[in-house]
Structure 1
Amino acid sequence: MASDKRRAHHESVGGWAKRLHLTSQSVMESLLRPFDLGPTQWYVLCHLAEEGPTPQSALVHMLRVERATMSGIVAALVRKGYVEQIPDPGDQRRKILRLTAGGEELWERLPDPVDEILAIAFEGVPPEAQDHAIDVLRAATERLTARLPARHPRK
């Protein structure tokens, strides 16, 4: 009986969403490996390239990673010469991240793994079916997010 229930979970929307996520991450890692980047490093570069200088703490919340994880990711990007940390003029304890010239040059050469993954995963799927899937997953995510306890930033 428990085995049937477990099997049903694996075949649920959530089960398939999880497998899609894990497989997408694996494909993304393989696309970025030649550039010595991981997926979260790519998302940091993407945000900085598209939105400009950003407080490191804001990226922690946007990308939903722990502060220590973000510190390691940023340290690696700084070491590689793609990102620089500058003090926040309003609060010298905070760091603002921005792309370096090397980071901008790299960004221009990088493939867009998200576009590639979506093109492969949804090849032949009609746009209206994709829109419906987005609506369902967005609503589910919003309902779950509303159930999360409020996070209080550290001071």
Structure 2
Amino acid sequence: MRAARTLRRRSSELLEPWDLSPHQARALGVVCRHDAPRLAELAERLRIAPRSATEVVDALQARGLVERVPDEADRRAVLIRPTAAGRAVREQVDAAREADSETVFARLDPTDRATLARILRSLTED
């Protein structure tokens, strides 16, 4: 648990330059990876209530990172699309996370890193 808390804290601190919460960063990542998901799909992928997804999207939209666009296939539905600024922020966050991961895991020798990766994969397989 201590390691998980430390990694969560580092992750939150890493997002500070972009003034993003972990929930917002996750949502932005989903929106960027899954070309313009519907709000319900976003909520499902984040495993949160649709109302919570609405609040996260509202915050991202207010910052100009995502936009709501009509779904041409279903006029009642709205799609969430990343803006150019949103994609740029996502790329910067991804690069910062990758650099931070290298720093954290550089403490382990290659054999220990491989073992840890194998163990974590086995714990997260569905």
Distance in 2 (CA, whole Å) between partners of 1:67 and 1:138 is 25
- Is the CA contact 2:31–2:42 (under 8 Å) kept in the aligned structure 1? no
Q: Output aligned runs, 1:14-53, within 5 Å.
A: 16=1, 19-53=2-36
Aligned length: 122
Q: Equivalent residue for 1:138?
A: 124
Compared with structure 1, are the counterparts of its residues 128 and 41 closer, same or farther at alpha carbon in structure 2 (3 Å cutoff)? Answer: same
Percent identity between the two aligned chains:
24
Task: Find 1:127's aligned residue among 109, 114, 117.
Answer: 114
Structure 1: where are the runs of 5+ without partners?
A: 1-15, 143-155
Return the TM-score normalized by structure 1: 0.66
How far off its partner does 1:67 sit? Answer: 1.4
How far off its partner does 1:52 sit? Answer: 2.0
Q: Equivalent residue for 2:64?
A: 81
Deviations along 1:54-79, whole A, 9 cap, x unmatched? Answer: 11211111111121211111000000
Determine which structure has more spread, i.e. the larger CA radius of gyration: 1
Q: Equivalent residue for 1:71?
A: 54
Q: Equivalent residue for 2:87?
A: 104
Distance in 1 (CA, whole Å) between partners of 2:93 and 2:116 is 29
Please report the RMSD computed on the Cα atoms of aligned residues, expressed in angstroms.
2.3
Q: Give the secondary-structure state (helix, strand or coil) at the position aligned to 1:65.
A: coil
Compared with structure 1, are the counterparts of its residues 129 and 34 closer, same or farther at alpha carbon in structure 2 (3 Å cutoff)? Answer: closer
Compared with structure 1, are the counterparts of its residues 24 and 116 closer, same or farther at alpha carbon in structure 2 (3 Å cutoff)? Answer: farther
How far off its partner does 1:45 sit? Answer: 1.7
- Is the CA contact 2:69–2:80 (under 8 Å) kept in the aligned structure 1? yes
Distance in 2 (CA, whole Å) between partners of 1:82 and 1:49 is 10
Q: Equivalent residue for 1:7?
A: none
Return the TM-score normalized by structure 2: 0.79
Deviations along 1:7-40, whole A, 9 cap, x unmatched? Answer: xxxxxxxxx3xx4443322211111011111112
